[in-house]
Amino acid sequence: MKPRTRLSIALLVSFVVLVLGFLLPASVPAQAYAGRPKLIVIVVIDQFRGDYLNRDRAEFKGRGFNLFMNEGAWFTDCYYDYANTKTAPGHATIGTGAYTDGHGIEANDFWDASRSWDHKVSSVEDERYRLVDLPPASIPANQPGAPDTALKYVIGASPRNLRATTLGDELRLATDGRSRVYGISLKDRAAILPAGQSANGAFWIDNSSGQFTTSTYYMEQLPEWARAFNASGRVAEAAREAMVEGTTQFYELVGRTPAANRYELDFAKALIAGEKLGQNGVTDLVVVSLSANDIQGHQFGPNSDSEEQMILSLDRDLDDFDSWLDRSVGLQNVWLALSADHGIAPIPADAAKLGIDSAVVDMDKLYARLNAELNALYSPGMQTQYILPGPDLPYIALDRRSFERVKIDEKAAEDEVSKLLDEAIVSPVPQKSPDTIQPLPPPAQHRLPPTPQLAGVYTRFDLAHGQLPPSEWGKLLAHSYADHGNWYVMLVLGAYQMEDLHGSIGTTHFSPWSYDRHVPLAFYGAPFIPGEYHGRVAPVDMAATLASLAGVNQPSAAVGRVLTEAIKPIRPIGTQ
């Protein structure tokens, strides 16, 4: 190349740079984050097993579930990789992309030695804050004798126990707080935990009136649009739809009907419109946790007509919500993600009819037996409480103060409780005396009734020291580890077995078995390759994938995998 040609090229390059310099606004700050979608909406269905979408697929209409199944990336085999399949840990996992050993939330309520020996604390309860804008009837009277001027309030809530950041936190960190992040649910824990520590707001209902509230952790009073929603008569309309007009048990009676999903989705619309989400030049995030399916599902089970109606009704409501999103923000600007916090077991009697060994265990009797046996061992003649009440299986909490008084250390205490549980749940085989040979009993002519089985008992001590089976099973248990200063053991009953619910509710979820861990996982949006994916994935992959696509740091304890198989390839440079 001649020197003159080189000079011309250099001049041309300088000219282009100069022109570009004039065209581009000088004030664009250098930052890694380019804010791809205007809005991410994560829909969490509380208690929704992964097989439901397949089961009811033929009945789906419009762009509700079909938006995910036909136009999005739908993962049919998504399983939680931990043993404590409850609402609070599930929602924390969806937000953080981590398990209990990463985010610190093991149960809905737990004994926290650093906070109270009188009651279990809820995963989000926080006495340093109060709930706001509650109707007067929902605020308890002060203690008798308290001055008239004493402030009446209900204890607030916050993500104080959450030890990891969420996708929302990372969006806010990446944009210096310009991304707006919100959580919505009927339940406080399900609104707060997936949104994260830095969320702009989390909204849930006052159980009695059904009005939306929040905690002073977020704000001193509800925003104008939320007050207007509460005053709009929408709550009364939901009660009318559920045919319990004027109820003061909104959570139980409206909460178990499809009317509750519509009520929540309408609040989500009011939030998106009221806060102008998707109009801030960066990516905003809303997590909507729909509680109704859990409230009805515990009562009627996964195979009931009630479950079927709830799913088909939700399909229509999601269709309506998606159309609204399309009109208001434009679906081309939105990424949607769908999952659930846990699955559910069939009602034990239904499974037993098919010959499944779905026995139930009376926890009250079991607790009485454990306490009696521990007293006989360590404090004969006494009525010491060694086991803390209110089990939140799989955890059984030990009162360490009682053991410490009789000089028993954690390892010895937890080992003893494990041994006693083993003996109590597995019916002991009667020992034959060596000099008498008993004839065998005659073979049964029919299937024998279900019998409680013990799949395993694991101590906190062993979990803390990594002394677990070197297997997939061991990994599930390790992921369920949390430390709130108490001693505990984890009890795993046989598959399809559960605690006796005494007829108050029909079934539950709490175990490491597949039916409690199987949930849907699906995405809709520009970066996803539509299709049905059968590879094994986990709910922790949602936060990892969305963080990666949004170009932000993964949440602090995230262990999920970026689901690259469902992401459109990046266009090679120079091609269209």
Stretch that binds Zn ion, among 89-97, 249-257, 288-296, 421-429 (CB under 5 A): 288-296
Please identify, among the stretches 63-71, 290-298, 467-475, 548-556, the one whose residues bind Zn ion according to the rule CB under 5 A.
290-298
Q: Which of 287-295, 317-325, 434-442, 451-459 is the region at the interface with Zn ion (rule: CB under 5 A)?
A: 287-295
Question: Would strands 39-45 and 334-340 be described as parallel, antiparallel, or unpaired?
Answer: parallel
Q: For the chain, first and last CA: distance in Å? A: 31
The burial class, CB within 10 Å (0-12 / 13-18 / 19+), for 498 is buried
Locus of tokens 């990463």: 102
- Binding window for Zn ion (CB under 5 A); candidates: 111-119, 154-162, 291-299, 308-316: 291-299
Token match 């939105």: residue? Answer: 334
Q: Choose one: 223-231, 289-297, 433-441, 452-460; the region binding Zn ion (CB under 5 A).
A: 289-297
Question: DSSP character for 27?
Answer: T
CB proximity list for 512: less than 8 A, separation 6 or greater: 82, 83, 85, 394, 473, 476, 477, 480, 492
3 state DSSP class of 258: helix
CB of 276 to Zn ion, least distance (A): 34
**CA neighbours closer than 13 Å in the CB half-sphere of residue 359:** 17
Q: Which residue is nearest to Zn ion (CB)?
A: 294
Footprint of Zn ion on 396-425 (CB under 5 A): none
Which of 101, 294 has the CB closer to Zn ion?
294
Specify whether the CB–CB gap between 72 and 520 falls below 8 A.
no
> CB 46 → Zn ion: shortest distance, Å?
7
- The least distance separating Zn ion from the CB of residue 506, rounded to whole angstroms, comes to 12
Residue 95 and residue 196 in contact, taking contact as beta carbons nearer than 8 Å: yes
User: Among 171-179, 292-300, 332-340, 564-572, which window interacts with Zn ion (CB under 5 A)?
Assistant: 292-300
- CA–CA dist 75, 51 (Å, integer): 11
Identity of the residue, 294 or 462, whose beta carbon is nearer to Zn ion in the bound complex: 294
C-beta of 187 vs 400, nearer to Zn ion: 187
The residue (of 290 and 425) whose beta carbon lies closer to Zn ion is: 290
Check if the beta carbon of residue 225 is closer than 8 Å to that of residue 270.
yes
Nearer to Zn ion, 294 or 319 (CB): 294
Considering the complex, state which of residue 169 and residue 341 has its C-beta at the smaller distance from Zn ion: 341
| Closest distance to Zn ion from the beta carbon of 47 (Å) | 5
Distance between CA atoms of residues 510 and 460, nearest Å: 17
Query: Residue 314: what residue type?
Result: L
Based on the shown chain and the rule CB under 5 A, indicate whether residue 112 belongs to the binding site for Zn ion: no
* Number of residues counted as binding Zn ion (CB under 5 A): 1
> Which helix or strand (DSSP H or E) is residue 520 part of?
strand 518-524
Q: 291 vs 418, which CB is nearer to Zn ion?
A: 291
Binding to Zn ion by residue 341, rule CB under 5 A?
no
Beta strand extents in 26-140 (DSSP E only): 39-45, 73-79, 109-110, 121-122, 125-130
If the CB atoms of residues 251 and 335 are measured against Zn ion, the closer one turns out to be 251
- Candidate ranges 116-124, 294-302, 350-358, 423-431; the one touching Zn ion (CB under 5 A): 294-302
State the minimum distance, in angstroms, from the CB of residue 197 to Zn ion: 25
Structural tokens at position 25 = 């606004």
Q: Which of 480, 458, 566, 564 is nearest to 98 (CA)?
A: 480
Least distance (Å) between residue 293 CB and Zn ion? 9
CB 238 within 8 A of CB 227: no
Answer yes or no whether residue 266 interacts with Zn ion by CB under 5 A.
no
CA pair distance 278, 382, nearest whole angstrom: 63
Position 294 contacts Zn ion (CB under 5 A): yes
**CB nearer Zn ion, residue 266 or residue 294:** 294
Of 63-71, 191-199, 293-301, 419-427, the window that binds Zn ion (rule: CB under 5 A) is: 293-301
- The length of the chain in residues reads 576
**Complex with Zn ion: residue 294 or 416, whichever CB lies closer:** 294
Question: Smallest gap, in angstroms, from Cβ of residue 472 to Zn ion?
Answer: 25
Q: Is the dihedral of CA 261, 266, 270, 276 positive or negative?
A: positive
How far apart, in whole angstroms, are the C-alpha atoms of residue 208 and residue 228?
19
CB of 118 to Zn ion, least distance (A): 25
- Residue 227 CB, nearest distance to Zn ion (Å)? 30
Type of residue found at 499: E
Distance of closest approach, residue 238 Cβ to Zn ion, in angstroms: 21
Residue whose CB is less far from Zn ion, 294 or 392: 294
Interface residues toward Zn ion, by CB under 5 A:
294
